[in-house]
Amino acid sequence: MLIIIALARPQSTQSNEKIVSEGIDILLVLDISESMNAEDFEPESRLQAAKSVIRSFLKNRQNDRIGLVIFSGQSAVLCPLTTDYLMLAKLIRKVEVGIIEDGTAIGMALAHAINRLRHSKAKSRVVILLTDGANNAGEIDPITAANAAKAIGVKVYTIGMGKDKGALIPYYDPIFGKRYRPIHACIDEESLKQIARITDGHYFRATNEYKLADIYKEINQLETTKIETTEFILYKELASYFMLPATILLILKIILVATLRKIP
């Protein structure tokens, strides 16, 4: 039986995988101006809906470095490029309207993001810019920033957020408490479309949270991370482990047969 097993050439295998991945550098640029408190993304405000969708977007990324720039009247890098998505998601939860002076400095925010990507060695560099307004602050025009992005190979996806007919924004009255006042849609769609066109990106319009989620899913599919897997399999012959005891047993058999025949 041992000889039969040895002739069957049993083998053990050991496999190793070599994974080669090419990540993407992505900067999320998020508008936190006062109008982002508008409650037309029922039951949430625009900002809360955006934060929720962006956190879901992070769950679908792998091997990419992602950072966050926030802006209103000024812009600031809240999180540099990182692969620590859990930490980034926690920072996004804490973003609120009012932590920066009010306004909409789209050009400054875009320029800030581009500067962060300028020295990146990633195969693809992307900005996802979300706003519900028009540029009215900062020293840099959005189109100038878009041309700078094109010059260094940064692609910009722009998202205009808000319903066409405007929305209600809450405010607090010292006597009556929480009250609402209407705001009108003031998205500069032409500028957002031009930014996307100049940088070979896309412009999207989100009028509810479901549409916004679909937009980030589409961007997720457009900007996929390349992962190559190479598998190495090592084979080890096990026949000798069966042939050796078979040979020993065969020798013992020959000795015993010869010995027993001589015993009277």
In a shared domain, residues 79 and 62: yes
253 within domain boundaries: yes
Mean pLDDT, rounded, for 80-93: 95
Percent of the chain residues past pLDDT 90, beyond the cut = 60
Residue of 90 and 244 predicted with greater confidence:
90
Residues 162 and 251 grouped into a single domain: no
Domain match, 143 and 248 both: no
3-state DSSP: the chain helix, strand, coil percent, rounded to 5?
40, 30, 30
Whether residue 148 is found in the same domain as residue 239: no
The residues that bridge with 15 in the sheet, in sequence order, are 233
The burial class, CB within 10 Å (0-12 / 13-18 / 19+), for 260 is: exposed
Within a domain: residue 80? yes
Q: Report pLDDT for 233.
A: 59
In a domain, 160, yes or no: yes
Same domain, 76 and 10: no
- My answer on whether 101 and 195 are in the same domain is yes
> To 10 degrees, what angle do helices 106-117 and 142-151 make?
20
Asked whether residue 258 falls in the same domain as residue 143, the answer is no
Task: Assess if residue 143 is contained within a domain.
Answer: yes
Query: What value does the mean pLDDT of the chain take?
Result: 86
Look up the domain containing 240 and give its range.
Answer: 2-17+235-262
Same domain for 107 and 76 = yes
Domain identity same for 175 and 61: yes
The amino acid at 242? F
Sign of CA dihedral 228, 87, 70, 75: negative
Same domain, 64 and 81: yes
Q: For the segment 116-160, what is each residue's pLDDT rounded down to a tens digit?
A: 999 898 889 999 999 999 999 999 999 999 999 999 999 999 999
Instruction: Give the pLDDT confidence score for residue 260 in this predicted structure.
Output: 62
Are residue 85 and residue 111 in the same domain, yes or no?
A: yes
In-domain check, residue 230: no
Q: Do 182 and 257 fall into the same domain? A: no
End-to-end CA distance of the chain: 32
Q: What is the pLDDT of residue 229?
A: 46
* Residue 229 located in a structural domain: no
Q: How many CB atoms are located within 10 Å of the residue 187 CB?
A: 18
Q: How many domains does the chain have?
A: 2
Is 111 within the bounds of a domain?
A: yes
Q: How far, in Å, CA of 85 to CA of 142, rounded?
A: 28
Residue 179 lies in a domain: yes
**Which CATH number does the domain housing residue 141 bear?**
3.40.50.410
